[in-house]
Amino acid sequence: MAGMEVIEIVVIGGEEFTVYGAYSESTAPGEHDYYDVYLMNRGNGILELVDLGEPLSRRPTHEELEDIAEGLFGEHAAARQAS
């Protein structure tokens, strides 16, 4: 069986990022073939793919998610969360 599952949800700068892991029939239990990062669009409630369709070969770190947020929202994205 193949599918995707939520690995974690991280809030950065008030924005909700969801990390999904994908697996296939040949994937070892607890492992994932690749990862995608989605952002919840607060305007319409739809998850939007933010890794530009290039799946990540390993689970992104919180620092990498902050880098994605910075790329989307500017250098103050992570600081908005602290305030």
Query: Would you list the DSSP string of the chain?
Result: --EEEEEEEEEETTEEEEEEEEE-TTSPTT--SEEEEEEE-TTT--EEE-STT--BSSPPPHHHHHHHHHHHH-TTHHHHHH-
What's residue 83's pLDDT? 45
Q: What is the pLDDT tens value at each position of the chain, 83 positions in all?
A: 899 999 999 998 888 999 999 999 999 998 999 999 999 888 888 888 887 667 889 999 999 999 888 888 776 555 544 44
Backbone angles phi, psi at 20, to 5 degrees: -110, 145
Rounded Cα distance between 17 and 79, Å, is 16
pLDDT value at residue 76: 55
